[in-house]
Amino acid sequence: MTIPNVQIGPLDLVTVLPYLSLAIMFGIVLAVVPLLTWFERVVLGLFHDRPGPNRVGPRGILQPIADGIKLFFKEDILPTSVDRRIYYLAPVLALMPPLASCAVIPITELRIRMADGTIRTLPMVAADVNIGVLWVFGLAALQVYGIVLGGWSSNNKYSLLGGLRSSAQSISYELAMSLTIVTAVLMAGSLSLVEIVQAQSGGIFSWNILRWFPLGLIAAIVYGISMVAETNRAPFDLPEAESELVAGFQTEYSSMKFAVFFMSEYASMVVVSAMATVLWLGGWQAPAPGLTIIPGVVWFFGKIALIIFTYVWVRATLPRFRYDALMRFGWKRLFPVALAVLMLGAVVDAYYTSPTAKSAIPAKPERPKPNMMGAEGAG
């Protein structure tokens, strides 16, 4: 589908496209949080064979609005022994990384007809940087600071223990996740998220999840497990395990500060689901060439919705890990599997993908042969 380059005063569509892309991602990440809380309750009710939300509005659709009003007008309790500056800063530090990650996530690709009749194909992304993968997961590593500082500044032993658990869990599962991401980068040959999606064009069998079978599938599964652990979702929700730690790192938070932590968790779910779509499921690419009539943005957000449904499905099915089992699973299961997949992927990339490619390592220069003539010969 080709659209004209609409002129809006001194601006045109090509000029405002990055800002439009950022606004859409911000709007989706922030506006979808109330909808996700309702969606999760409805799906959990269906899985558990119970009614779910059904009191406020048809099928409880207005329940998120009621929850927002309740949190906004709830009493904001401030314990006397907290470190106030860090206590207020922690929720902001937890929310900013997923919002900043939106800048490099491509939504779709647009074909724009310019005024001179030429057609330009442009990705709908705020910033198509060549290190997009590093940008997103560098920010994801910073998010744990909000949780740790929230637990530490509360001056509560349960909150502190929840923050420490989160930091150890994040470090453990980041290793396996990073190795699987490197595998996806090897498949595409680029760190740019746009180029990774473009390398998966051609249908479902060109997606990274089915490339180098079964290596791509195993790497995608490891990434999926790690992303659930990174977002502190069940069965990896040890940092906020109510049965052990009251409410973990957010025990002393109430009103809108608690709501910001809540928004951070769901925003992180959307961002890591978008990254899973880009890395493994072809981004905005259709599963078959005949389905390209459906806009790419529909495929992109449809895949994200499917992944979030899987999030809720896992929560409804699996019990919470013990902490020792959680750490053992990360270090003794996921990490070795991710490392083995990466090594095998490197072998496939080096010897089977491009067997005739020349080596990028420069040849060793030849040393000058020593002069075998003696002093008399030299004279």
**pLDDT tens profile 214-228:** 999 999 999 999 999
Q: What's the pLDDT tens digit per position in 116-168? A: 778 888 888 988 888 889 898 888 888 888 888 998 999 888 888 888 888 88
Q: Residue 262 contacts by C-beta under 8 Å, 6 or more apart in sequence?
A: 33
User: How long is the chain?
Assistant: 379
203: left (phi over 0), alpha (psi -120 to 50) or beta: left
How far apart (Å, rounded) are the C-alpha atoms in residues 321 and 359?
Answer: 47
What pLDDT score was predicted for residue 118? 84
Helix (H, G, I), strand (E, B) or coil at 110: strand
Both tokens assigned to 263: 């928004």
Work out the pLDDT band at 379, boundaries 50, 70, 90.
Answer: very low
User: What share of the chain in percent tops pLDDT 90?
Assistant: 39
Residue 28 has pLDDT above 90, yes or no: no
How far apart (Å, rounded) are the C-alpha atoms in residues 284 and 277?
Answer: 8
What pLDDT score was predicted for residue 370? 67
When pLDDT is averaged across residues 20-25 and rounded to a whole number, the result is 87
Work out the pLDDT band at 359, boundaries 50, 70, 90.
Answer: low
Both tokens assigned to 110: 């647009």
Q: For 66-73, which contacts have Cβ atoms below 8 Å and span 24 or more sequence positions?
A: 67/34, 67/37, 68/34, 68/259, 71/255, 71/256, 71/258, 71/259, 72/255, 72/256, 72/259
How far apart (Å, rounded) are the C-alpha atoms in residues 193 and 279?
Answer: 8
What pLDDT score was predicted for residue 110? 87
How far apart (Å, rounded) are the C-alpha atoms in residues 278 and 330?
Answer: 24
| Average pLDDT, rounded, for the chain | 86
Residue 138 vs residues 107, 209, 356: alpha-carbon distances, Å = 20, 23, 35
When pLDDT is averaged across residues 243-247 and rounded to a whole number, the result is 65
How far apart (Å, rounded) are the C-alpha atoms in residues 232 and 143?
Answer: 11
Q: How many CB atoms neighbour CB 315 within 10 A?
A: 18
Residue 269 has pLDDT above 50, yes or no: yes
What pTM was estimated for this model as a whole?
Answer: 0.87
Residue 355 has pLDDT above 60, yes or no: no
Q: What distance separates the 2 farthest-apart alpha carbons in the chain?
A: 109
Helices and strands (H, E) in the chain, number of each type: 13, 5
Residue 362 has pLDDT above 80, yes or no: no
Kindly write down the DSSP assignment for every residue of 233-302, as one continuous string: -TTS-GGG-HHHHTTGGGTT--HHHHHHHHHHHHHHHHHHHHHHHHHHS-TT--SSGGGTTS-HHHHHHH
Could you tell me if 188 and 182 are in contact, meaning their C-beta atoms sit under 8 angstroms apart?
Answer: no
Work out the pLDDT band at 32, boundaries 50, 70, 90.
Answer: confident
When pLDDT is averaged across residues 288-297 and rounded to a whole number, the result is 89
Give the type of residue at 189.
G
Work out the pLDDT band at 273, boundaries 50, 70, 90.
Answer: very high
Q: Residue 24 contacts by C-beta under 8 Å, 6 or more apart in sequence?
A: 107, 124
Could you tell me if 59 and 38 are in contact, meaning their C-beta atoms sit under 8 angstroms apart?
Answer: no
Q: What's the pLDDT tens digit per position in 37-57? A: 899 999 999 999 998 888 888
What pLDDT score was predicted for residue 377? 47
Residue 283 vs residues 2, 77, 179, 203, 227: alpha-carbon distances, Å = 19, 43, 20, 11, 17
